[in-house]
Amino acid sequence: MTCDPYDFTGKVALVTGGGRGLGLEMSRALAERGADLVLASRKLDILEKAATPMREIGRKVETVACHVGRWGEIDTLVERAYSVFGRVDILINNAGMSPSIESSVSATEALIDSVLALNFKGPYRLSALIGERMKAAGGGSIINISSVGALRPHYGFSPYAGAKAALNALTFAHAIEFGPTVRVNAIVPGSFRTDIADHWPVEREAQTPAIAGRYGRPEEIVTAMLYLASEQSSFTTGSLIRVDGGRP
């Protein structure tokens, strides 16, 4: 009998922003493959709605209201995860925000601070706390969800692009710090048809510069995540994996 390399039975995954969009898609995929989960975001009602079908298939799911940009709340999230499950095998730093600005000079200090807090400082702290515990336990996988904007910044999104570029650098730095037993990688998505995309102009997708000529479907993030979360990626760390439809 061939062993399924993507069977996560007995594993625990913590996913920030796990109640909607790409975070929900990745959480659902892990649950369907046997993982128990800790789902975190600012809105508990959204998390509970996401957790219901996962619990119905037998998964244990802990939902935690947490603003990932606030270190005190992150500390509480980590303690909750370990008190309930005693371990975290997979950490997915997915929560983020990408507000647009009219110009760099118009951006307020408060906006810059909030973008950096959620997209960089939060993942920094969460990875630091869990990475140390993973290393002590003998291994684990940390997956940062970056953005193609970090590599190809667009006008009006410089705070977000800068924060995600910092996350890319952190990916490699933490791969060194927590390696070789803990693998730290980043997925670099392009534009996806999540609920956020529902608010974009209809013609925007037709104008995408991606070679694929369209936006990604949320489920198309799953294969890259499963690879990085599993032992199939045992020789992959400090890497950025683009899932962007071939953005030039």
Q: Which residues are catalytic?
A: 160
Distances (CA, A) of 211 to 107, 247, 248: 32, 6, 8
Are the beta carbons of 178 and 135 closer than 8 angstroms? yes
State residue 61 phi and psi, 5-degree precision. -130, 120
The torsion of the CA quartet 204, 217, 220, 183, rounded to 10 degrees, works out to 60
Q: Can you list the pairs that 58-63 forms with residues at least 24 positions away whose Cβ atoms lie under 8 Å?
A: 59/31, 59/34, 59/35, 60/36, 60/85, 61/31, 61/36, 61/37, 62/37, 62/38, 63/38, 63/39
Q: Nearest-CA neighbor of 163 among 231, 85, 234, 107? A: 107
CA-based R_g, the chain, Å:
17
- For 86, how many CA atoms within 13 A lie in the half-sphere containing its CB? 1
Q: Which residues of 152-168 are buried (b: 16+ CB within 10 A; e: fewer)?
A: ebeebbbbbbbbbbbbb
